[in-house]
Amino acid sequence: MNVAQGRLDYGPPVGVIDIGSNSVRLVVYEGLTRSPTPIFNEKVLAGLGREVQSTGLLAADAIEKAYAALRRFRALCDRMEVAQLWVIATAACREAKNGKTFVADAEKICGVKIDVLSGKREAELSALGVVSGFHKPDGIVGDLGGGSLELTDVQGQRIKAGLTLPLGGLALQDISSKSLKKAEKIVRAALEDAGLLEQGKGRTFYAIGGTWRAFARLHIWQTGYPLHVMHGYVMPAREAFEFSSLVHRVDPEMLSQIEVVADARRPLLAYAALVLENLVRIARPKDIVISALGVREGLLYSMLDAKERDKDPLIAAASELNVLRSRSPAHGEELIAWTDRFMASSGLEETADERRLRHVACLLADIGWRAHPDYRGEQSLNIIANAAFVAVDHPGRTFIALAVFFRQRVLGAVLRVAYLVSASTTGVLPRTPMVVERGRLVLRFDNGFKALAGERVFVRLRQLARLIGREPVMDTG
């Protein structure tokens, strides 16, 4: 296989095919890692579950559409030399009378065993997707598919037993004969009996699923929110409740900015809004947070060993980008230690979360070096602000991006000194420590490194010293 220089060497890629009630999707990942990067992602809206509630069967035309998608996906996996392929199926396949026959035929096409997930297992994997993609998650996970809604309580890496309800968009549309009034009664009755929601008060509700992502995308565009990154997007509960109420009571085509929602998703938008509105009313969470990670990523996370699961996925992703785009990746690691020493001596307050974000900024500080000098900051900002990072909220993502973009605040000023002293080469920062002592900001040059001291270095040292109220000193012994 011709390995691209822009890829990390994790060996052959791995893939997951997810046969859902609404869509059939293939995602191929660079490797089985703590922060897996998709290198290919395609879905086909087959609608397998659209008639299961009323007829008990997967629709014939949907089956043929799904088969065609699976044939293409199998061929793509062969071309991409996917080393390991997992295929999972959810609500429609486990509930339909002809589900077993469909799965047997699908296995022949895919060439692998298909895991038909139970409702409990699907809820568990959805929750693991949130565990894999958020820093210290705490709340209720809700995965809304075409056929079902899975709910699970998660706190850190602890997951309680979940439950599954037949409240997916296609299922509601089917069982209510496309009547939103009937659907609302069904939703209310099901959720009011879901005792798990009583644990959601004042906590976060993590929303998973394509239709909820479409709902959030519409909210982003209507409110003019500047960062078009779906993972980690937050809606205050009251705002989510009011927007849900609007969306499920208005013809979708009449909604402002509806063009940002795919045509195939629009008929299900009202049902997703209806479910979310009642979830907020009953669970009374603090906010709604959108998760782009769910069952597929939960499956991959479950296959990692304990050491790999314990890694911070944001640090892992930043380290990978550092390797791919920096002049000297080891320099980013040295920069972490160098700034650790500075912060410890400076007396500046820093929380554990702020320290974590500083470490990420150090790893990403040089990723724009190939751009023209006038645009390096801008390119780095755009990469970081829009990167497929997980385990970081939008304010944290913005902090990292601006720390690299603006070389004037404390962290940015620290990085400016470091990069001018070392020229991004390794072995320099450990021999040129910068510390605060006796009211002075001292930059020391060990023997053999004194020639690196210069006027421009002192100018940047002085800029940093002004920010923290210290006297700048360059000590060349």
Q: Band of the pLDDT at 4, cuts 50, 70, 90?
A: low
Average pLDDT score, the chain:
95
**Residue 229 near residue 246, CB atoms below 8 Å:** no
pLDDT at 3 over 60: no
* Shared domain check, 195 and 104: no
* Beta carbons within 10 angstroms of residue 251's beta carbon: 9
Answer with the one of 242, 264, 297 that is the final residue of a domain.
297
Q: What is the mean pLDDT of residues 385-410?
A: 88
Q: How far is CA 305 from CA 33, 158, 227, 311, 333, in A?
A: 10, 16, 34, 10, 24
Q: Band of the pLDDT at 6, cuts 50, 70, 90?
A: confident
**Residue 445 near residue 475, CB atoms below 8 Å:** yes
CATH number for 93: 3.30.420.40
pLDDT at 269 over 70: yes
* Shared domain check, 348 and 424: yes
Least confident of 144-148, 222-226, 371-375, 454-458: 371-375
* Shared domain check, 164 and 257: yes
Residue 303 lies in a domain: no
What is the domain range of residue 92?
14-116
Q: How far is CA 300 from CA 12, 73, 208, 297, 461, in A?
A: 15, 19, 16, 5, 46
* Shared domain check, 188 and 63: no
* Shared domain check, 106 and 63: yes
Each residue's pLDDT tens digit, 132-165: 999 999 999 999 999 999 999 999 999 999 999 9
Residue 216's nearest CA partner among 137, 310, 295, 144 is: 144
Q: Band of the pLDDT at 7, cuts 50, 70, 90?
A: confident
Q: What's the one-letter identity of residue 298? A: G
**Residue 106 near residue 114, CB atoms below 8 Å:** yes
pLDDT at 1 over 50: no
pLDDT at 407 over 80: no
CATH number for 373: 1.10.3210.10
pLDDT at 408: 47
Question: How far, in Å, CA of 45 to CA of 461, rounded?
Answer: 57
> What residues have CB less than 8 Å from 196, skipping those under 6 apart?
140, 151, 152, 153, 160, 162, 163
Q: What is the mean pLDDT of residues 29-51?
A: 96
The kind and range of the H/E element at 180 are helix 180-192
Q: How far is CA 96 from CA 83, 99, 164, 200, 218, in A?
A: 31, 5, 16, 32, 33
Place of tokens 């071309």: 79
Residue 308 lies in a domain: no
| Residue 473 φ then ψ, to 5° | -140, 130
**Residue 380 near residue 124, CB atoms below 8 Å:** no
CATH number for 210: 3.30.420.150
What's the domain count of the chain?
3
**Residue 92 near residue 99, CB atoms below 8 Å:** yes
* Shared domain check, 451 and 363: yes
Handedness of CA 65, 69, 72, 74 (dihedral sign): negative
Place of tokens 């897996």: 36
For 166, the token pair is 């037949």
Q: Band of the pLDDT at 373, cuts 50, 70, 90?
A: confident
Q: How far is CA 457 from CA 58, 169, 337, 454, in A?
A: 69, 61, 20, 5
* Shared domain check, 257 and 189: yes
Residue 179 lies in a domain: yes
pTM check: above 0.85: yes
Answer with the one of 265, 297, 329 that is the final residue of a domain.
297
Residue 2 lies in a domain: no
* Shared domain check, 402 and 268: no
Place of tokens 């960062």: 227
